[in-house]
Amino acid sequence: MSDGLSAQLLNLCCGLFLLTAVGVLWRRQVSSLITLLTVQGLMLTGIATLLAAQHRNAEAVGIAIGIGALKAAIIPWMLRRVHNQVPDARETRPLVNVSASLLAAAGLTLLAYAAARPLVALAPSASAHATPVGIAVVLLGFFLAATRQRAISQIIGVLLIDNGIAAVAFLATGGVPLIVELGVSADLALAVLVLQILTSRLHETFGPTDLDELRELHD
Amino acid sequence: MTELMAWLIAAAQALLLALLAPVVMGVTKTVRARLEGRASGRVGQPWRDLRKLLRKPPTSPTDSGIFFTAAPPMLMATSLIVAATAPFITTVGVAGSADLIVVVGVLLLGTVALTLAGLDTGTAFGGMGSSREMTIAALVEPTLLLSVFALSARVGSTNLGAIVNAGNADPEAVFTPASLLAFAALAIATLAETARIPVDNPSTHLELTMVHEAMILEYSGRDLALIEWASAMRLTILLGLLANLFAPWGIATTISLAWVVAGAGFFIVKVLGLAAVLAAGEVFVAKLRLFRVPELLAGSFALALLAVLASYVLA
Amino acid sequence: MARVGLFGKILKTGRVAEPAVPADETVPKAAGLGGSVQVRHVDAGSCNGCEIEIGQAFSPVYDAERHGVRLVASPRHADVLTVTGPVTVNMAGPLRKTFDAMPEPRLVVAVGDCARNCGVFAGGHGVHGSVAEVVPVDVHIPGCPPEPAQIVATLRGLSGR
Amino acid sequence: MTDPTATALVTALVSAASGATAGLSLPASWRARVVGTLLFLSGVAGLLAGLAALSGHDWQTDLPDLLPLAGIKLAVDGLSGWFLLLIGAVTATVGVYTIGYAGRDGHGPGSRTAMFTLPLFTASMLLVPAAASVPTFLLCWELMAVTSLLLVMTEHRRHEQVRPASVWYAAMTQAGFVTVLIGLVWLASIAGLDFTAIRTTTPGVSPAVKGGVFLLCLFGFASKAGAVPLHPWLPRAHAEAPSHVSALMSAAMVKLGVYGLLRVGFDLLGGGTGWWWLTVAALGALSALYGIVQAVVATDLKRLLAFSTSENIGLVLLGVGFAGMFASSGQPAVAALALAAALLHTINHAGFKTLLFLGAGSVVNATGTRDLDQLGGLSKRMAATTALFAAGALAAAALPPGNGFVSEWLLLQSLLHPGGHTGTVLALGAPVAVAIIALTAGVGVATYVKAVGTGFLARPRSSAAAGAHESPLSMIAAMAMAALACAALAIVPALSVPAITQVAASLRLQAPPMGTNLVSLHLTGITATFWPLWLTVGLVVAVGALAVAGRTVGKARRRAIAWDCGDGPLTARMEYTATSYAEPLQRIFDDTLAPERDLDVTHEEESAYHIDAIRYRQRIPDRIENRLYRPLIVAIARLGEAARRLAPGVMHRYLAYMLTALIVVLVAGVIR
């Protein structure tokens, strides 16, 4: 694993990582969203393992494997279960049409790069140049959550944000202490679990989990 | 030795004022009667009233408590203390040591004792008189203190003895516009404090118009005597202060016996003169309606404020 | 110019009071008053004729004040209680209360015939009786109404000045 | 830890903490007694800490790990010693009072929460003067605000007005806290967190910034002190809180506003310029006048006492304001005299206001009502409370033998001091201030004569007042303690001169020109001396002699029914009530008070000429509140209504807000 190869692999993972995020914005079917999410989980694991290998830090490898398991396996599995229980979640009816979303995605990525410049200047390691990708994915996740109507797309938005933050953490600092990672992961798992129960309960009581109908609850 | 002498003179001064007070009331009544064409009684009539009242038994209403019985001695005590410590005969030692703000405060304490007694009787007139007396006392206070301010600004201290000595030292300082305005303000305040004509009519029988009299309707016998005597002393004290602060000549500045006696003589003449002027003034003025009194007091307050400003601009 | 006008008038009129009236004989109880008599007046149902005369007694012309006699507002301050008119049914209680409210030594002067023996109103429907039946009377002043000089003489007798 | 101040302060805090735990754990019957005694111990310890600090034992400590970010820093110098003394004394008195007042039944003042929060409240008040760094100060300040809020709400189950009062109290205290927070943090951002650091660097800070910081702190401290434009919480909170809490708040907590002003104004910002202190003096004058005018027409006893607190705080602020003006215009001697007057008035006011509020508590405890128009005739039924309340009223009305008069005399002397009047502002300001103090004193006397006269004397005006009975011994003992303190301060005020010199030194001011001869109060600058001891002795001897002489020589006193013009018996309805007593003054101050009167006449059906009933109702609103606060509240409500449309319950809308906020921040980061 010469340095040049690992650097190229790292760039590949980051590239795919960003691409999957844009894909999530692009696709409408929920099932394709879940597969994109799984791919992104794998890419994140790739980044983690590559960086761990670079720093020859055993603990970081453990973390990478943990993340991989969580992001690529457990969460997609949970999402699939929700997806199967809620038949009408086929179509994520977006508030903002797809082309506008993609333009917004581009704008957000540019903003991420501009905002990350001081961060990149500071960071010691070479891999830090890729940190803007993490920030971009966070912004995209946020955008997804804000503009999609289905409850399940909120969950996916949150997951994207979490992947983005983890990516930033790995790229900028070259590895996150175990405790922090455990904490974050536990939170994430819990969040998804709760959202999953919420969505199924919503479905049982109200039928379509279209969030706009939920407005009547408010008044 | 001079310490004991000073205390003795103070006691003598208090005694002199106590004896002089009814005579001052007698003089005001006589002058007033003469101007109204009446053949007035002798000047000693108030003394005879006091002596008769002292022999009669006091009565107190069933629901009244300690405040009713304690008011006459408190009123007399405050008058005695001011009489002993203010510079009437001499400005040396204890007699000249009183501070003007303390004198104003002690006199106010006497008024408060009487107003509480008025309320303690539980009668409508007692409450009415007490409420009006307090309203007027509250409005007189700014005038009194501002005229004090005007006087003390000229001298640099509110100590009565110092003010009188300063007036003695350079007589023309007494005739500056500041002290004349202060004199006018203090004169109006005196009328209000001692319930004389423009503010209250001491010889009225119609309870609804009374201010001071309404509070003492329930007193009789020696209580009434003490109150009448103390009120007469308050009038004498205030006239004496007016006389000495603005015409300080003849007051004894050393402790020699001759000077003290001369001082006493001068003082008596000045006070009786002022009392006569007061009585004469009363004949020409009618009693103001209660809610015109604040305007009068606001006027005197304005005079006092002008006095203070004048003492800055001119002094 | 009102002030100067008034002052001028005062100087012009000078003394209005007439020479003092000789005093009547005094009452033993009055000795304790020592020349200072404070009078509280109660109208126990009179036709106001006597009131006017008593008012004149204290006016500048008769001037009872020169003998040390003064009208006061409350019976607590008074030594002498002057009562006029036959005591009507309604005024009997209040008259009694006024007399009780006065501190010792106290005297009652019944002014006018009505006070003495109900005068013209004797036997009237609302009349309770003469003053003597309600409160102990020390001096009676006859007349309907009595002269102010007579009232001043009696009061002067009480004050002894 | 051998330093006396430290040991005393620590014992005070420890006994307060143990009081709090006792309050939580003990059964109802024992709770009041134990918490009361522990409170008393804590008060006495605080008092001793103050005395030690005032006699020169300055002490400071630094506990960095207690508070995560900046640590706790405590320092007790002369100024904080003075206020520790004040708060300790008030706490001790209230401690004894709580034993009797909190009762055995365990609800209301005796409930678990009240007994738990009371010692915490006093402990936080002891900590505020001792704080020596911005975070510590703000922490203790907020702890005090929260615990006092809880205490104000102890009786919310029994009276429904307690809730609006608490809402007002919470809103205004927190608003005040926020402004103080902004001010101090702004100052700390420039000059550092620690007070000593601030002291050294402030000379370099630009006057504009110092002015801004002072104004912000002034807003917060003036609202805590209850100065008039910021006072609406005071009459509500004091009227609704249980009396021992009102006593603590009115006598002690309110003074910490003044402490804050002195600490920030003189100590941290180094005296500042003239216009600062002119605003303080103007604020003082306004609250003195408006406070007492509202007090004289108040018929609720505790509302009257609360407005009178506003008035006395006005006088203190007047003193502090003129002290600052004299100091900044180059007359240190007169400045020290004005400061001495203000300081002495804080402790005098603490003395007689505690006595008055505890007296009011005893009355409310016995009769169940605070309305002066229902009370009356208590002088026979509650002799001890009446005598003690009258003594407090004498002091509060600033009449000579009382201690209120001593500090007012000093304040007037400092204003009348001819040396002080250089510059037109002072030359015109001093006489106007004297006039305002005089009018306030005059109306103050009328207020307290009304309170004592209609509240306690003659016949009871309601069955509640008729059935009154004397309060338990511990309440009387507490009131007696406060009365003793007032008497001591009245008769030998010169005792406080060395302490005031120490405080002036810690504020880097000159010692006040006052002689320390115990018998008299002598001002060395101008020939003005006043012998409170001889005056009191003279009065007592004269009154005693006259009374005894009368009884022995004269005839026996006769008791008779009051003269009722001969007809029917005098009933209680014929007595003057508090409303009618203050009616002339209310008519004179009509345009400032603007009472709301409504009169409805109901006629008989048959004809409009026969009147069935006439109903007249008059209410005197708080005009500043209506003119200033009502529009503010309406504006905020409208703002709230508009904001409500922003949150329609749509999930996306909320996420969109968050996203836009994030983007804006990033863009801002990029642009800068």
- Domain boundaries of chain D, sorted by first residue: 273-521, 623-671
Mean pLDDT rounded to a whole number for chain B: 87
The SS3 call for residue C143 is coil
Q: State chain C's maximal CA–CA distance in angstroms.
A: 58
Question: Where does the pLDDT of residue D323 fall: very low under 50, low under 70, confident under 90, or very high at 90 and above?
Answer: very high
Read off the pLDDT of residues D20-61 as tens digits, 9 standing for 90 and up: 998 888 888 888 889 999 999 999 999 999 999 888 888 888
- The 3-state secondary structure of D368-425 reads CCCECCCCCCHHHHCHHHHHHHHHHHHHHCCCCCCHHHHHHHHHHHHHHCHHHCCCHH
Domain ranges of chain A: 3-218
C104-128 tens-digit pLDDT: 889 999 999 999 988 888 888 989 9
The residue with tokens 């001819």 is: D418
- The residue with greater pLDDT, D474 or D354, is D354
Residue B90 sits at φ, ψ, to 5 deg, of -140, 155
Residue D124: per-residue pLDDT: 94
| Interatomic CA distance for residues D340 and D408, integer angstroms | 11
Give the model confidence (pLDDT) of D425-457 as tens digits: 887 888 889 889 999 999 999 999 999 999 999
**pLDDT at residue D421 is higher than 70:** no
Interface of D with A (CB under 8 A): 648-652, 655-656, 658-659, 662-663, 666-667, 669-670
pLDDT digits (tens, 9 = 90+) for D150-176: 999 988 888 888 999 999 999 999 999
Half-sphere exposure of D555 (CA within 13 A, CB side): 16
Q: Tell how far CA C127 is from the center of its chain.
A: 21
What mean pLDDT, rounded, does chain C reach?
A: 88
Q: Name the amino acid, one letter, at B25.
A: M
Please report the pLDDT score of residue A219 as a whole number.
47
CATH of the domain at C141: 3.40.50.12280
Count of structural domains, chain C = 1
User: Nearest CB to D567: which of C74, C75, C94?
Assistant: C94
Determine the distance in angstroms separating the CA of C160 from the nearest CA of chain B, rounded to an integer. Answer: 12
A neighbours by CB contacts (3+ pairs under 8 Å): D
pLDDT of residue D331: 84
* Residues of C in Cβ contact (< 8 Å) with D554: none
Chain D residues with beta carbon closer than 8 angstroms to that of A139: 659, 662-663
Flag whether residue D562 sits within 8 Å of chain C, measured between CB atoms. Answer: no
D616/C contact by beta carbon, under 8 A:
no
Which pLDDT score, from 0 to 100, does residue A84 have?
78
Q: Does residue C105 have a cis bond before it (omega within 30 degrees)?
A: yes
Chains D vs A: touching, with 3+ CB pairs under 8 Å? yes
The answer to whether the bond into D431 is cis (omega within 30° of 0) is: no
Residues D664, D590: Cα–Cα separation, whole Å: 55
Say what the pLDDT of residue B114 is: 94
pLDDT in tens, chain A (219 residues): 567 788 788 888 888 888 888 888 887 778 888 889 999 999 988 888 888 888 777 777 888 888 888 888 888 888 888 777 766 555 666 777 778 888 888 888 888 888 888 877 776 666 777 888 888 999 999 888 888 877 777 788 888 888 888 888 888 776 667 777 777 777 777 777 777 777 777 777 766 656 555 555 554
Pick from C93-97, D604-608, D617-621: least confident: D604-608
DSSP for residue A91: B
User: Which of C38, C60, C77 comes nearest B37 by C-beta?
Assistant: C60
Question: What are the b/e assignments for D550-574, b being 16+ CB within 10 Å?
Answer: beeebeeeeebebbbbbeeebebeb
**Where in chain B are the domains?**
2-313
- Coil, strand or helix at A202: helix
Torsion angle in degrees (nearest 10) through CA of A21, A24, A27, A32: 120
Alpha-carbon distance of B1 to D18, in angstroms, equals: 61
Q: What is the ipTM of this complex?
A: 0.81
DSSP state of A128: G
Mean pLDDT split into 10-residue runs, chain B, 315 residues? 82 92 92 86 88 90 89 94 89 80 92 94 90 91 83 81 84 76 89 86 81 89 92 93 86 81 90 92 86 84 81 64
Contact between chain D and chain C (3 or more Cβ pairs less than 8 Å apart): yes
**Interface size, chain B vs chain D, as Cβ–Cβ contacts under 8 Å:** 242
Contact A146 D655 (CB under 8 A): yes
What pLDDT score does D314 carry? Answer: 95
- Token pair in block for residue D447: 């207020």
Q: Against a cut of 0.90, is the pTM above it?
A: no
User: Among B52, B70, B63, which residue's Cα sits nearest to residue D544?
Assistant: B70
Q: Is residue C26 part of a domain?
A: no
Contact flag D565-C94 (C-beta cutoff 8 Å): yes
Chain D residues touching residue C100 (CB < 8 angstroms): 560
Contacts of D564 in chain C (CB under 8 A): 97
pLDDT digits (tens, 9 = 90+) for B200-235: 888 877 888 888 888 999 999 899 999 999 999 999
CB pairs under 8 A between B and C: 92
Q: Please name the helix (run of DSSP H) or strand (run of DSSP E) that holds residue B111, with its range, or none.
A: helix B100-120
CB neighbours of A6 closer than 8 A, spacing ≥ 6? A50, A53, A54
Is C82 within 8 Å of chain D by CB? no
Among the partner-chain residues B36, B42, B219, the one whose CB lies closest to the CB of C76 is: B219
What pLDDT was estimated at residue A2?
66
Spell out which chain A residues touch chain D, with contact meaning CB-CB distance below 8 angstroms. Answer: 95, 108, 111-112, 114-115, 117-118, 139, 142-143, 145-149, 154, 157, 211-212, 214-215, 217-219
Quick check: D648 and A149 CB within 8 A?
no
Q: By the CB < 8 Å criterion, does D558 face chain C?
A: yes
Which three-class secondary structure string do you get for D597-652? EEEEEEECCCCCCCEEEEEEEEECCCHHHHHHHHHHHHHHHHHHHHHHHHCCCCHH
Contact check, Cβ <8 Å, D566/C98: yes
Q: Is residue C3 part of a domain?
A: no
**Calpha distance B100→B92 (Å, rounded):** 16
For residue C52, what are the CA distances in angstroms to C91, C112, C141?
20, 12, 15
pLDDT value at residue C1: 56
Closest-CA distance of chain A to residue D645, Å:
11
Six token digits for residue D294: 């509202």
* pLDDT classification of C2: cutoffs 50, 70, 90: low
Per the prediction, chain D carries an average pLDDT of: 89
User: Among residues D596, D598, D614, which one has the least CA distance to residue D297?
Assistant: D596
- The answer to the question of residue C27 being in a domain is no
Looking at the domain assignment, is residue C6 inside a domain? no
Amino acid making up residue A50: L
Parallel, antiparallel, or unpaired: how do β-strands D558-560 and B59-61 relate? parallel
Task: List pLDDT tens digits, range D529-568.
Answer: 888 888 899 999 999 999 998 888 878 888 888 888 877 7
The C-alpha of D407 sits at a distance from chain B's nearest C-alpha, in angstroms, of 12
Q: What angle do CA D324, D420, B312 make, to 5 degrees?
A: 130
Q: Which of D3, D101, D99 is nearest to D43 (CA)?
A: D99
Neighbour subunits, D (≥3 Cβ pairs < 8 A): A, B, C
The string of pLDDT tens digits covering residues D225-284 is 999 889 999 999 999 999 999 999 999 999 999 999 999 998 888 878 889 999 999 999
Q: What are D175's strand-pairing partners?
A: none
Q: Cα separation of B213 and B203, whole Å?
A: 9
Q: Which residue has the tokens 């033998």?
A: D401
